Structure 1
Amino acid sequence: MRWLSKERWRPRLATVVFAILIVVMALPLVGLFFFRLYENQLIRQTEGELIAQGAVVAAVYAQELRAAGIPPEKLGSPISVDPARDNNYPYEPIEPRLDLASDDVMPMRPAAVPATADPAFAAIGARLDGILDETQKTTLAGFRLLDPRGVVIAGGDEMGLSLGQVEEVRTALSGVYASELRLRIPDQPPPPLYSVSRGTRVRVFVAMPVEVAGRIAGVVYLSRTPNNIVKHLYGERGKVTLAAIAILGGTLLIALVFIRTVSRPIYALIDRTKRIAAGDRDAIRPLDHHGTREMAALSAAFLDMATKLQARSDSIQTFATHVSHELKSPLTAIQGAAELLRDSGGAMDETERRRFSNNIVTDAGRLNLLVRRLLDLARAENLAPSGENTTLGAALALLPIDTRLEARIDAGGDIGLGISAENLAIVLANLIDNSARHGARQVAIDASTAGGRVLVHVGDDGDGISTANRTKIFEPFFTTRRETGGTGMGLGIVLALLKAHDGTIGLVDSERGTRFEIDLPVA
């Protein structure tokens, strides 16, 4: 019989492990495509740095304007005051707000257009231009200082040109901070590895309004390409290659360890299973390599099961041999007597006819007894614990009075035992019957508790059991009273009933007669 009723595809263990190892090796590479969060953090970090630098330049530019005494009419439009603003709180922090995942990347910044700067603002820009150039050498940020009309007055080579048409500059000239992500103008061909990153192709632009006397005095326009992890990886490509080799080597090592500790013992156990199923008794032995503790436990449990099944198979075979022998003898006698009665015709006298008829009846009765005892043994071996409990007194009261001997309880008659009264009565009946058949006149029963168990002793004053037979009494069909109708199955039924109730029985030494010790759980 095949336990797998449906043949369907199932992956081999090696295939599953191989797939897992491939995924493990690919994780570092796949991770390159999922560092958008880190890239976004770099974008915001760059915006925060530009805000800090712009705030310093804006403060210096505003101070210069105040020192130069620029009249208010030359400044830009008034800045509206937010009514929700707390005037008692002097700080106005600007938090980075760009998001590479959700914000659109704008086209490259439009080119500046010709314009004319106010000489007063141009003079201030000329004084700050050198400071901006020196700052750019350290921070790598691009600086443009714009007057209230968006004309560049300091920074780079666009002085005297207007950036007022740029969207973020236009927003800043209205008094609102603005920032944008724009496509960068590459100054050299990007390495191939850059293709996996979106953040390598953008530049952060920040437009910070400058306020003087409640009016727009200009805009500090800054830009910078954010730091990028891909550039770092490309620069460290030698180390990345070594890391990839280390990952591959580690994966192969994992595979080797897995094959050694899991895969090989499993296949060895499968092979051992097939050999045992084919009847190879030599296969019932421990594996050469268990690999892991769990595999050792699984192997031990499997071999223990195989050993028990083999022992049970041997027991069934031996039992079948005994049964066939026990049934064959009376059947042969019945057949022989019936054939003699059939073939004698009228030559057999009445005495012989009656003798042969009596033999048939006697052997048929033995067959009937054997069949009944076999049914009792089968029921005992397949009995499920009922959870009932009883006492010696209750079980003994169920037995009919045996005129052949006296059965009494010396102690522990009220101790609870984890077995039903009916089954305990069957156990006691078989033991008392054996005692009566071996010349006993008295059977003494006592019980005592010890560590959650009950020890029941059943002793008699009969002939006892010889030393040669003490090891055979629990074997099926072993009996020394076959001529008087003994089947040799009584103690087998007793043993099976007790095992079904987590109990045992054994023969113990006694000065006279036979003494059994029964071990049962306490109720």
Structure 2
Amino acid sequence: AEPYAPILPTLDLTTDDMLGRRPEARPAAALADPSFVALGARLAPDLVEIQQVTLAGFRLLDPKGVVIAGREEIGLSLAHVEEVAEALEGRFRSVMRSRISKHEPPPLYSWSRGTAVRVFTAMPIVLRGRVAGVVYASRTPSNIFKNFYDERGKVALAGLTIAGLALLIGFVFQRTITRPMRELMRRTAAIGRGDRSALWPLAHHGAMEIAQLSQSFLDMAANLQNRSDFIATFAAHVSHELKSPLTSIQGAAELLRDDLDPSAQRMSTEDRRRFLDNIISDAGRLTAVVQRLRELARAEATPTSGSTTAADAVVDLRSGFETLGIEANGDLDRAIRISAESARIIISHLADNAARHGATQLTIAAAVQGEDLRIAVRDNGSGISRANRDKVFDSFFTTRRDSGGTGMGLAIVRAMLQAHGGSIALAEDGEGAP
């Protein structure tokens, strides 16, 4: 009539203590009660049959811990064994003990701790509040490899699942990281060889971070390529601009030197003055070119800190160009992320260009567009021909070379604006230079 309450296993090789080998049985202090001996003899065949099914060893003990049934140790006492002693007190106890086998275990089985362990359980039989006996059982746990073999279907399915997941993860990793990184490495080598076609975006970007990294790298490489091209072109222009006046100075100096030769025909004072004027003019041109080169270098390295307003720049402009009628309107008080000195240089170059091309009026209009400030500068001068519109911002391009123009003014303006995150463009319509 009592409810069935199974005792669940709680032993764990990783956390529970491992006891030593079970102590040997000792002689009993007194002979077992004949009724218990008869009971043990009657149950002995059942224990043998149970052992064949469960592969466990069983012993029945009387209330004093004397073995009354079991293949061995009948009549001997196990009351001194730790788990048996606790069962005689009415408490269930299970322990793990070291097992020393009489046979050499197979090498594969030696990998498992299960073959060196034996589990002992002592179950008290309580009748009317008293311990009437103890069922003492022991068994070697199943080897882990035997369990794997018994569950080989599940193990194989788990292995295939893990292998499939590993292949899937590897494929995704290869598509999203390895493949784009290898392509980026190939592009790096190609860019190092000067291949401009390698600057195009990658066909497969993979992960978002890899896409951002590759695009940032390609943008940087493109900027470096453009910078390299600019330096090469700039060096060619500089050498051309310096070569002409240097050649003129050298020729005039050689003629003047030859005039000192007593055997040579003496040149007139007018010719001598003309050659000296040429030297002075070309030297002045060289000085102007060098000065503009310094301004351009300073513009490209201009610190981007500081702020000012268009109104302040207009005030400085009016004091520096009194011959120009300057009209300003719009959002002139809007703060600009540029220093007052840089703003003055930019506006001054534009006003100087206008004055040198016959302008008498300069109009400045400021308008806010989102977070940006658009400033339109227009003059009433001779304007820019359609053939020259695409070249006005190129370094050393000028239509006033004979009158001392260096072609560096607008290049300096563009460099300073780009250093501050701005830009400059030539308007498509209107008279003068808009």
Please classify the TM superposition score into its range, dividing by the shorter chain length.
Answer: 0.7 to 0.9
CA distance in 1, matches of 2:248, 2:289: 15
- Partner SS, residue 122 of structure 2: strand
**Kept after mapping to 2: 8 A contact 1:110/1:166:** no
Could you tell which deviates more after superposition, 431-440 or 503-512?
503-512
Report the equivalent of 2:348.
429
Highest relative contact order (Cα 8 Å, sep 6+), 1 or 2?
1
Alpha-carbon distance in structure 1 between the residues aligned to 2:368 and 2:175: 51
TM-score w.r.t. structure 1 length? 0.69
Matching residue's letter, 1:151: V
Cross-structure match for 1:390: 308
Aligned to 2:373: 454
Q: Secondary structure at the match of 2:426?
A: strand
> 2:320 aligns to what SS in structure 1?
coil
**Contact 2:18–2:98 (8 Å) recurs in 1:** no
User: What's the CA shift for 1:508?
Assistant: 1.1
Counterpart in 1 of 2:270? Answer: 351
Do the aligned partners of residues 190 and 431 (structure 1) sit closer, same or farther apart at CA in structure 2, a change above 3 Å counting?
same
SS in structure 2 of the partner of residue 145 of structure 1: strand
Aligned pairs (5 A) from 1:40-79: 52=6
Which aligned pairs between 1:260-339 and structure 2 lie closer than 5 A?
262-263=177-178, 265-285=180-200, 295-339=210-254
1:180 Cα deviation after fit: 3.6
Question: Are residue 511 (structure 1) and residue 430 (structure 2) matched?
Answer: yes
Residues 100 and 372 (structure 1), Cα distance of their counterparts in 2 relative to 1, 3 Å cut? closer
Contact 1:172–1:208 (Cα < 8 Å) also in 2: no
Instruction: Find out whether 1:379 has 2:298 as its counterpart.
Output: yes
Distance 1:401 1:108, change over 3 A: closer
Amino acid at match of 2:314: L
User: Separation in 2 of the partners of 1:246 and 1:511?
Assistant: 73
Change (3 A) 1:412 1:192: same
Question: Does 2:148 correspond to 1:148?
Answer: no
DSSP-derived class of the 2:397 partner: coil
Q: Aligned pair in 2 of structure 1 residues 160, 501: CA closer, same or farther (>3 Å)?
A: closer
- Structure 1 CA distance, aligned partners of 2:178 and 2:320? 66
Cα distance between partner residues in 1 of 2:330 and 2:179: 60
Q: How does 1:196-215 map to 2 (within 5 A)?
A: 196-209=111-124
Q: In structure 2, do the counterparts of structure 1 residues 224 and 52 end up closer, same or farther at CA, with 3 Å as the change threshold?
A: farther
**How far apart are the structure 2 equivalents of 1:157 and 1:427?**
110
Tell me, in whole angstroms, the C-alpha distance in 2 between the residues paired with 1:404 and 1:340.
42
Contact 2:381 2:432 in 1 (8 A): yes
Shift of 1:479: 0.9
Give the TM-score normalised by structure 2.
Answer: 0.82
Instruction: Answer whether contact 1:105 1:202 (CA < 8 A) is retained.
Output: no
**1:316: how far off?**
1.1
Is the contact between residue 168 and residue 206 of structure 1 (CA under 8 Å) also seen in structure 2? Answer: no
Q: Report the counterpart of residue 76 of structure 2 in structure 1.
A: 162
Once the two structures are overlaid, the 10-residue window that deviates more, 265-274 or 449-458, is 265-274
1:504 partner SS = coil
| Residues 471-493 of structure 1, C-alpha deviations (whole Å, 9 max, x = no match) | 11101111111122111110001
Q: What does 1:347-496 align with in structure 2 at a 5 Å threshold? A: 347-386=266-305, 388-399=306-317, 400-496=319-415
Aligned ranges 1:157-196 → 2 under 5 Å? 157-158=71-72, 160-164=74-78, 167-168=81-82, 171-172=85-86, 175=89, 177=91, 178-184=93-99, 192-196=107-111
Q: Which amino acid aligns with 1:390?
A: T
Which amino acid in 1 is paired with 2:332? G
Q: Which amino acid aligns with 2:284?
A: G
Offset of 1:179 from its aligned partner? 4.1
Conserved 8 A contact 1:194-1:231: no
Cα distance in 2 for partners of 1:121, 1:229 equals 40
> For 1:507, what is the secondary structure of its paired residue?
coil
- Residue 197 of structure 1 deviates from its aligned partner by 1.1
Q: Is the 8 A contact 2:64 2:88 kept in 1?
A: no
Identical counterparts, % of pairs: 51
- Residues 234 and 395 in structure 2, CA contact (< 8 A), matched pair in contact too: yes
CA distance in structure 2 between the aligned counterparts of 1:375 and 1:488, rounded to whole angstroms: 14
* Residue ranges of structure 1 left out of the alignment (5+ in a row): 1-50, 54-93, 516-523
Count of residues in correspondence between the two structures: 423
1:383: how far off? 1.7
Q: 1:10 — aligned with what?
A: none
Q: What letter corresponds to residue 415 of structure 2 in structure 1? A: A
Q: Does the C-alpha gap of structure 1 residues 156 and 272 become closer, same or farther in structure 2, counting only changes over 3 Å?
A: same
2:113 is aligned with what amino acid? R
Give the 3 Å change call, closer, same or farther, for CA 270–216 of structure 1 in structure 2.
closer
Take 2:131 and 2:178, find their aligned partners in 1: how far apart are those partners?
75
Structure 1 range deviating more: 418-427 or 193-202: 193-202
Measured in 1, the distance between the counterparts of 2:181 and 2:431 equals: 57
Report deviation, 1:208: 4.3
The CA distance in 1 between the partners of 2:222 and 2:83, in whole Å, is 87
Q: Does 1:230 align with 2:145?
A: yes
* 1:104 corresponds to 2:23: no
Deviation per residue, 1:37-72 (Å, 9 max, x gap):
xxxxxxxxxxxxxx957xxxxxxxxxxxxxxxxxxx
Decide whether aligned partners of structure 1 residues 248 and 174 sit closer, same or farther in structure 2, where only a CA change above 3 A counts.
closer
Kept in 1: contact 2:90–2:131 (CA 8 A): no
* Equivalent position amino acid for 1:230 in 2: F
Letter in 1 for 2:321: D
- Kept after mapping to 2: 8 A contact 1:112/1:158: no
Pair 135,378 (structure 1): closer, same or farther in 2 beyond 3 Å: same
Which residue does 1:502 correspond to in 2? 421
2:137 alignment partner, SS class? strand
Q: Which moved more, 1:300-309 or 1:210-219?
A: 210-219
- Report which stretch shifted further, 294-303 or 226-235: 294-303
Deviation string for 1:401-448 (max 9, x for gaps)? 323321221332222222111111111101111111111111011111
Give secondary structure in 1 for the equivalent of 2:18.
coil
